Structure 1
Amino acid sequence: MSDADQLTIGYSTLLETAGDIRPPDGAGARASPQVLVLVQGDGALEPDPSWDRVVRVPGHGVARSRNAAIEHATRRYLLFCDDDVEVNLPGVLDGIAHLKRTGAALALGRGTDAEGQVRKRYLTSRPGPLNRFSAAKAATYEMLVDLDQVRAAGVRFDTRFGAGAPLYLGDEYLFIVELLRRGLKAVSVPYIFGTHPDSSSGSRWGGKDLHVRAVVLNEVHGRAAPLVRAAFALRHARGMGDLATAWAFVTDGTRAAEAVGAAGDVGSAGEVSGPR
């Protein structure tokens, strides 16, 4: 069995943007990734011939779609994806080979913009372990997981976070940290997993955005969060704009349960159609 035969690409989408999905060349062929499309929104949907399975995901928030991908993917390795991402299959297959060599449960690859430039600065061009600090810039379409390990450990996305949820940032970061807390290994790799043309939600710096960032840091770092928030404010002072905004961030000790209530469930698994 080839590595492509062991891969599921899980595209999270809304009903009105499902038509934007462009699977990599060869999708639908015998030796190719499984194309799993996770759709939120009511109404009729005409599946594309390149889609292998469609899951209608109830509720709101991309984290619910990610959890449905973990539930319904039928291959060992899962690349999380969005409808506006162009997957670089050779880079993803390099990521799978790395997971096989190292036994890691998650490989965090890289993304490029429409001009082919990497979207972030990296300290090294070599693979390395992720921790509670280095995982903070993760984008979902850069995340490739070994589903056997993720499922066995019970790791899921927190549905209070992520696009479409009240706390609309940080779902990827929290997922990786939870994976680490449960004793699994996560690594960064220098392989390009895909191209994302739009600006990232992680680049926003409005007042509410900073509040959500503070809640994410509080969930990740617990008692150490005040020091982490202060260090973050020093590093990003220019982006925060003024001293009052930075101070509000430094002193924001809100936890997720205070912001949106007790921990939510992982969402319904959804209704499935398609042969594989």
Structure 2
Amino acid sequence: MSALSELVGFWDGEIARWIAGDTAVSHRLQPWFRSYTGKGRGEVRLDVFPEPYTGRLIGNRSPVVMLGLNPGAAVPEFQAPGGVFFEQLCSMPYSEWAATVPYASDAWESHAGRNRFYQSRFAFARRLLSDATWPEADGVFFELYPYHSSGVTAAMTPPADVLREFVLDPIGELDTQYVFAFGKPWFSVPARLGLRAGHELDVEWSVSSRRAQIFALPSGQDLVVMAQSGYAGPPGDADTEALARALGLR
């Protein structure tokens, strides 16, 4: 079985178990769960289902792959038992639900408005590709840590084998050259994975605190890690254009 199919099958089973009422962190996920110990607003929420990825993983013909830190603040009206997304997951596997672009759905937007996290990433993909018609359904989003919290208040240090199994090996089977990771914690990941030293992208950014490094992945893909002071999202218009030029996409 491929790494991608294995991942889809695992999380379909894991989320189905959660929906059925068994909300304990499974033995296989314990090393990942223990790799972050945020307190206060950074405390992990186990009363809502984890979200390790969203997007269509199987049959995605033009994926743009973006890596974040964690799924963010919980909204129990959607992710807790009885919530909108919980009820959807009662009748479909997680992989199908994740492919519906749930955070751009009418159900979400009528309750919470447009989701800035996802909308900024959709805009980044369209600017990067110079394609205003790029479909939101082709966005693929993985997390460094799959459990919700309102903030990140401690180091996130998932073990290397966890990141390979649950993030990088499956991504290696997607048809894309560049994998974009947003947020300062991602800069420490390549060394833990034993990747060769990356290099700083030579770009004159419009945001002076922005930095970006590129690393070669075993899959032959390139991991582009980006961050700026106080922000763990994608760059805006000018810096996306500069990034595209630096990567030879213009």
Length-normalised TM-score, structure 2 = 0.30
Rg larger in 1 or in 2?
1
Length-normalised TM-score, structure 1 = 0.28
Larger RCO (CA within 8 A; separation ≥ 6): 2
